[in-house]
Amino acid sequence: MSTNQAKLQYLAGLISSCQKCPLFKAATHPVPGHGNPNADVVLVGEAPGYFEDQQGLPFVGNSGKLLNKLLDSIRLSRDEVFVANIIKHRPPNNRSPLPSEILSCAPYLKAQLSVIKPKYIITLGRFALNYFFPADSISRVHGQVKNIDQIGQKLTIIPVYHPSAGLRNGSMLKALQQDFLSIGKLLGKI
């Protein structure tokens, strides 16, 4: 087992016994995150939904299927990347996470990023964007390459719409597809 894998498993253990906010009470499984512990690319979403809560894995429902297609379009597989959410236990009825819940849970994502040290972070949706850039609006900055100093290193962040928005709205799906193509070019994948 690689060092990073062991560190991420340790964090997953902390998450599975966490009671820092009430969300653990109604959840079936914690969803700490999944993928390559040495990934160059980390994708960050909002919170687990129904299927994620059932399986303990991120992005395994319809949004996950669309995410896989978007990754395929730039020749990236789920095995190459690491996928996580800001919130590790499912909010009841998929409601938006509360600011207090984000505050409680955010240190876990920060710790995961400190272990993985990715070159690129793709944020999915407004909550993930606002985790890094609280004042930005996803409709204004999606697809832009943004830099930030965090976790003791320079991070390159590309915000895109959440895949669930792409499932609901044709123009957002188009924007997602275009933004992923730009990401593919940035990564030298296409």
Residue 105 contacts ligand SF4 per CB under 6 A: yes
Listed ranges 5-13, 66-74, 87-95, 161-169: which one lies at the site for ligand SF4 (CB under 6 A): 87-95
CA quadruple 90, 93, 99, 100: dihedral positive or negative?
A: negative
The label of the residue with tokens 């990934």 reads 39
Listed ranges 20-28, 55-63, 70-78, 160-168: which one lies at the site for ligand SF4 (CB under 6 A): 20-28
The distance of closest approach from Cβ of residue 78 to ligand SF4 in the complex, given in angstroms and rounded to an integer, is: 22
Q: How many angstroms separate the CA atoms of 34 and 12, rounded?
A: 10
Instruction: Supply φ then ψ for residue 120, to 5 degrees.
Output: -135, 140
Q: Which of residues 39-58 bind ligand SF4 (CB under 6 A)?
A: none
Indicate the residue among 61 and 91 with the shorter CB distance to ligand SF4.
91
Tell how strand 82-85 and strand 41-45 pair up. Answer: parallel
Q: How many angstroms separate the CA atoms of 182 and 173, rounded?
A: 14
**Residue of the chain from 8, 15, 155, 160 that contacts ligand SF4 (CB under 6 A):** 15
List contacts with ligand SF4 (CB under 6 A). 15, 18-21, 23-24, 87-89, 101, 104-105
